[in-house]
Amino acid sequence: MDKKKLVFEDLGKKEYEKTWNYQKKLFNNMIKRKHYSSKEVGYILFVEHHHHVYTIGKNGNKKTNLLVSSDFLKKKQVSFYHIDRGGDITYHGPGQLIVYPILDLEYFFKDIHKYLRFLEEVIIHFLWSNYKIHGIREKGKTGVWLNNQKKICAMGIRISRWITMHGFALNVNTNLNYFNYIIPCGIQNRKVTSLKEFFKKKVSFHEVKYQIKKSFEKIFNVDMI
């Protein structure tokens, strides 16, 4: 049987708002196509946001989990967006790989929790197959941690009519100082990490993108075109 196919786009470095609008365009197109029994199973976007951004999900608590003022954000040139995904507050910026799958889950499985576990498995597979690093899950939480209890990958999604958008953010060479101004994902007293911090040196961003792509294809049993 032929593997399902996803349209792959590497957007390179792109502003958050422009990428969000592009996601919504693809997402809405996918929903419209369902009326015509389209066989396209979706898109997958890779991007690095080259400006500093905080985003918070629709049920996030800005008052509690954003630790600085609006004036401080302006001084630091950090943008803030209240967006239409689940989850709480997180940071996006240079050195971080963002992956936005826009999938029709009717071609995979109609199970939101299973979808999140598959996204986590992509990161777990990537970490182990390339670096022999154990990525772990934490009960009752979404994302991937290392065994030092620091989070390396955050996730937040939206699903409507079984079409997905948003996705996950993997800290590669990320400036982790920006996480000090928030309570990441609303989880108290927990730190974040990156591949750069783990290895004490910068990691090839190009190689990470290539290997994440391979891990996604394996876990979801798809080909990217």
- pLDDT of 110-169, one tens digit each? 999 999 999 999 999 999 999 999 999 999 999 999 988 899 999 999 999 999 999 999
| Catalytic (active site) residue 185 | yes
| Domain extents in the chain | 4-224
CA separation for the pair 74, 69 (Å, rounded): 9
List 103, 153, 169, 185, catalytic entry: 185
pTM for the whole thing? 0.94
**Cβ neighbours of residue 124 closer than 8 Å, sequence gap 6 or more:** 135, 136, 137, 144
Q: Which CATH number fits domain 4-224: 3.40.50.970, 3.30.930.10, 3.30.1490.190, 1.10.1060.10?
A: 3.30.930.10
